[in-house]
Every structure is written in structure tokens, then in C-alpha cells.
Structure 1
Amino acid sequence: MLTFEEKVAVIEEFTELDRKDISLGRVNFHYEDSLYDKKIVVYRLHPNGNGFVYAGEMEEADTDERGMINIKDYSADALRDLIREAINSLSLSPAEKDPVMEEWLNDRDQALILLREEDGYNVYADDTLEGAFNSYQEAASFLEQEGFSRL
């Protein structure tokens, strides 16, 4: 297990993170360029070596209910990898992480395009917005109800 000082040294390699000293000798590291409301990447790193990394925006990360991963027993390389992934996950929009661009056709060979964009899923006929939806399921349901099927 790395000491507090060793963990701080690894974390400080990431120049995009800002150190914020908090109570009881603990330290947070913030990523101010986050595209999300969440800006704390390293949370409550304690002098005993315990602490957390926010991974709530990472695909398939094994997190607690707050989106955190405990880093108490992490090696230097594992900690570097986790922090790099955490920063990357906060640097990409949902559309960049999981892009969707699908063509849907009806029985008259009319085509609509379903795109994942910053604020949800949009359906276009050429350049004209036909519908905006909060989820893929809502958009797909709309398209199916209108007689379209995915290619």
C-alpha cells in the first residue's frame, strides 16, 4: 500500500488537477474543466492512505452508491490508470463516450436519422429536427410508432 505522500506525488503528476486541502489533514483534487457538475476527482485522501476516486461517469466501474472507488490498497500504476480514466470520463460528453448515429427507414423508403447529441437523442429528416428525446428508448419508440425500423 502506498503512503499518503506517495499517493499525493502520483496524483500531483496530473497537472490538470488542483489540490484543495480540507479538514483533518485530508486532501481533495479537483478537475475544474469537468463537463459535469462533479469536479472532485480525488476525494478525502486521508493521511492514513485511505481515499476515493470519483468514477461515476466511467463505463462499468465498480463504484459505491456515490460513484466512488476506494483507493486505499492501490499501487502507483493502478492509481495513475484510475485517475487518468476518471479525468477522461469527465472530459467527454455522453455523446462522445457512447455515440449513436442510426438510419431508420419506413416501407416507403423514407429515412430518418437518430443521433445522440449533447442533451439527448434527436431524430432528423435531412437537416430538419423531427423530435428530441431524453433517452434512446423514447426515440426508438417514437420511430417505431411512426412506422420506421432500424437498418
Structure 2
Amino acid sequence: LRSMVVDPDIKAGVIWAGVVANYPDLLTRWRRPNNNQPPPSLSTARRWRTQLQEQYGTPEENPDFYASISANSYLDDLSGPIQLHHGTADTSVPYEFSTTLADQLEAAGQPAEVFTYTGDDHNLSQGFSEAMARSVDFFDEHVKGID
């Protein structure tokens, strides 16, 4: 989404099971799935939540900051339509991130297509061919101008 805000030459975007949400949701609802494996070492990349809140406060303490860095705050400025794909059994990224984004796109008056893959996982393993065909058709229509 950020790319489509800063570059008007990007004509369309497709997001599969995207980690696209406002920062309060990212901080509270996006976690590494519990797959009975020990967590990776606490590297800088793994401590981003703590570091962000230590530097800027919590979303409740500094809502303007978090709105300013949330891609969802800039949906009015997108350069083209969006297509979303998400499996309902995704354990890596909450399915609700895509449904919330779809609602936000609609509220912003932005054209969007949303495809749900019932029972499918983060990789859209069951619906991969269908999702890929839909994505190619979407880019053909909105980037190449082929109907």
C-alpha cells in the first residue's frame, strides 16, 4: 500500500494474506504462531513492538504518531485498485486484517476486489491456482488494459 501512495505510476496492487493493518492492531493481534518450537533469539527485528513503544509510547498515549505510520491511514491516496486474497484458516496473519482493510477501502471509495478461500492457510495452498489466475487477470485488466 505504501508504494501505491508514493508512486502514482503503480496502477494496481494485489495482496495475498497481507500484514496490512493499523499499528494498534499490528501490536496486539499479530504474533508468531505457537507451533511448539522454541522462539527465535530476541534479535532487534523480534523486539520491534517493545522498541517502538519505548520510543513513541503506546497507541493510546500517542495516537497521532501511530496513525501517521499506519498505511491504512492513507487509503484515500492510493494510485489504483486493490485485489485482496486471504484464507480463513491462516494462522500466520489474521484473516480479519484483510476483511478490515476491505471495509476501509470501501469507506474510502477505493475500488477493491476481495477473495476469501474458506479453510485455506496463509500460503493459499488449496486455492493457489485460482488465486494466481485471479491475480494475473487483475493485472492484465488494470496494468495492461486487457479485458
- Settle same-fold status: TM greater than 0.5: no
Of Structure 1 and Structure 2, the greater strand share is in 1
Q: Normalised by the size of structure 2, how large is the TM-score? A: 0.26
Of Structure 1 and Structure 2, the greater helix share is in 2
Higher RCO, 1 vs 2 (CA within 8 Å, ≥6 residues apart): 2
Q: Normalised by the size of structure 1, how large is the TM-score? A: 0.26
State the structure with more CA Rg.
1
